[in-house]
A and B are shown apart, each in its own frame.
Chain A
């Protein structure tokens, strides 16, 4: 202490030297934060702002206040889109148990199992556009496989994508194909990490079959389940490519989802109601935020718990 006192005052430390410890992480974060701000935060704010205007991309913006939102709630096309989004959300979640089932089925050591696993994983690797095209041909009237099979057994084919009631289910089925593969791969990696000694112990205690699955395996798969649910929920809400490829929202708008309706209103050939499209985007954002905040809240809680 005294020694320090006697030492001459060091020439003023530069700001950098004295704050190095605190500043460094921010410096490293800065490029990422800049990008995030420019490409995520700013567009969100801009969309909110735009949703209060009438704007066709050419003329001047006209302030409308909440009129876009008022129109949304009396717009039958918006209701259809919202209803279809809920349908997507519910049915898409089937991918989680189905993926688990296939993963358990494939989690065995037989000759060539790697090939089977790759084949099951295949639909996730190919592009959504290709999936959409394959299923459109599968459903296609007159020459599609499904159409021909139904025609063979009942005498009259059913064109799934031409039927306003069935079309959405047809698209969701196409979406499930790759999504099940995704959940399956998440569960397969999860199953690799299941502790063998616990299974051994459970066996000794006489657990088997469903009880073993429910009380021993599934709890150990919780991280995989969490991720599977998250990606499936988000995937269902942002479904766009399949709708665009398979039906373009038709027949007469009955397979629209919010993201597609937003695109139609704001950017498609017959659209250019930027403000109205932005209002749809805001609603979709609000719905997504419910889920995303739930997920983040759970993740933060888990991390705190582990400390």
Chain B
């Protein structure tokens, strides 16, 4: 396939030299960090784009997902591509503030993206300008094992008190009410985020992650008070488990609930679960006065400030933002498009549930703790969450430590 393409472009180049009458073909470079399935989906999109714009050729260079996080700092400052993948929210702030990403507000205006991508607009906006285009997100929530619910005789809860009451039923059967694996830290942050969003709401959560509320605040203590109710029913030794290890417990019916992102569905199904045994519910309501907000990490494409051909890169951004492109890419990958005119596969109950959940969210969409908070705060915070799950009585020490970190990190 690749050779074929190269051959084709070579033939094209030769034709250009021979004919010298053709329009010039301009090449834009795009650096990305896709896993195999998303990569194939993006290559298909690029092929469509090149068919629509014969004068632009997109040269995609894919990086290893983890290695990309280091590589981007190098190539942005040395040899910029015209397009680069990254994430929304505070994760892009260092690049925006150091002038490495280009302001693309004009792409948003010219294509009415403030309408079609409205749900992700706040997380793409810094200083009133947009710095990139989102093309996918996925919902978080609680995945539950229907067999475990049947075994314990529990009903799917509609609010937090019922959820906690169920835990006793599961405990009687030797099933963990909630499982997680915090070896890589971030799964614990999913639980914290939702507890905070449900206890204090979106605005409070955003102020907390952007350093405007002290960690010793009463609101934060309320969150941990709710969490403390859950800790005794959570899988023991979670700190030594990867999220996939915990997924095994969940699949085997040794655990009933798992706070996770929709990407985990693939793993659950590989483990043998089907649409009949796997269920999804939004995180239950804790404080009914709080407007429902959800968590949906958003992936984005940006134009680096050092791009050589920003004009053509903007054409590509507009294409990536379109309903047609987002429908196609997300259908291939099994995630949710952001463009409100895009469609999802109605036959997939989890995509459907996620789409309904996010498109009806009034309170706001959070990115995830390690994207909303600056990297350093995220790390210290998630270590604190992990410690709390092992030693709930260390709470005071943990909060004091996080507060000291907040005062140091946000001051800079």
**Counting CB contacts under 8 A, is A247 at the interface?**
yes
Q: Are A270 and B240 in contact (CB under 8 A)?
A: no
**Counting CB contacts under 8 A, is A164 at the interface?**
yes
Q: Are A270 and B249 in contact (CB under 8 A)?
A: no
**Counting CB contacts under 8 A, is A235 at the interface?**
no
Within 8 A of B (CB), among A216-256: 247-248, 250-253
Residue from the list B95, B236, B245, B387 in contact with A251, Cβ < 8 A = B387
Q: How far is the CB of A143 from chain B (nearest CB, A)?
A: 9
What is the predominant secondary structure among interface residues of chain B facing chain A? helix
**Counting CB contacts under 8 A, is B386 at the interface?**
yes
Q: Are B236 and A141 in contact (CB under 8 A)?
A: yes
Q: How far is the CB of A210 from chain B (nearest CB, A)?
A: 42
How far does the alpha carbon of A269 sit from the alpha carbon of B91 in the complex, in Å? 11
Q: Are B237 and A162 in contact (CB under 8 A)?
A: yes
B182 contacts which chain A residues (CB < 8 A)?
250-251
Q: How far is the CB of B77 from chain A (nearest CB, A)?
A: 6
Residue of A159, A161, A269, A270 with highest tally of chain B CB at under 10 A: A270
Within 8 A of B (CB), among A38-83: 54, 56-59, 76
A267 contacts which chain B residues (CB < 8 A)?
70
B238 contacts which chain A residues (CB < 8 A)?
162
Q: Are A252 and B387 in contact (CB under 8 A)?
A: yes
Interface segment, one of B32-40, B127-135, B374-382 = B374-382
**Counting CB contacts under 8 A, is A20 at the interface?**
no
How far does the alpha carbon of A54 sit from the alpha carbon of B77 in the complex, in Å? 17
**Counting CB contacts under 8 A, is B7 at the interface?**
no
Residue from the list B73, B375, B386 in contact with A250, Cβ < 8 A = B386
Determine the interface band of chain B, counting residues with CB < 8 A from chain A: 20 to 34
How far does the alpha carbon of A56 sit from the alpha carbon of B384 in the complex, in Å? 24
Determine the interface band of chain A, counting residues with CB < 8 A from chain B: 20 to 34
Q: Are B383 and A76 in contact (CB under 8 A)?
A: no
Within 8 A of B (CB), among A153-187: 159-162, 164
Q: Are B375 and A58 in contact (CB under 8 A)?
A: no
Q: Are A162 and B239 in contact (CB under 8 A)?
A: yes
Q: Are B100 and A58 in contact (CB under 8 A)?
A: yes
Q: How far is the CB of A129 from chain B (nearest CB, A)?
A: 15
B237 contacts which chain A residues (CB < 8 A)?
141-142, 159, 162
Q: Please, which residue of chain A has its CB at the minimum distance from the CB of B241?
A: A141
A264 contacts which chain B residues (CB < 8 A)?
379
Residue of B184, B237, B240, B379 with highest tally of chain A CB at under 10 A: B240
Q: Are A253 and B73 in contact (CB under 8 A)?
A: no
Q: How far is the CB of A21 from chain B (nearest CB, A)?
A: 47
Q: Please, which residue of chain B has its CB at the minimum distance from the CB of A58?
A: B98
Q: How far is the CB of A245 from chain B (nearest CB, A)?
A: 11
Residue pairs across A and B with Cβ atoms less than 8 A apart, 24 shown, are: A56-B94, A57-B73, A58-B77, A58-B94, A76-B401, A141-B236, A141-B241, A142-B249, A159-B240, A160-B240, A162-B236, A162-B239, A248-B184, A250-B182, A250-B185, A250-B239, A251-B387, A252-B386, A269-B66, A270-B370, A270-B375, A270-B378, A270-B379, A271-B376
Which 3 pairs show the lowest CB-CB distances between chains A and B? A159-B237, A162-B240, A270-B379
Query: Which B residues have a C-beta under 8 Å from some C-beta of A?
Result: 66, 69-70, 73, 76-77, 94-95, 98, 100, 182-185, 236-241, 245, 249, 370, 375-376, 378-379, 383-384, 386-387, 390, 401, 412
User: With A58-B95, A164-B390 given, can you name 13 additional A-B contacts, CB distance below 8 Å?
Assistant: A58-B98, A142-B237, A162-B241, A164-B387, A250-B185, A251-B239, A252-B239, A252-B384, A267-B70, A269-B66, A270-B375, A272-B73, A272-B375
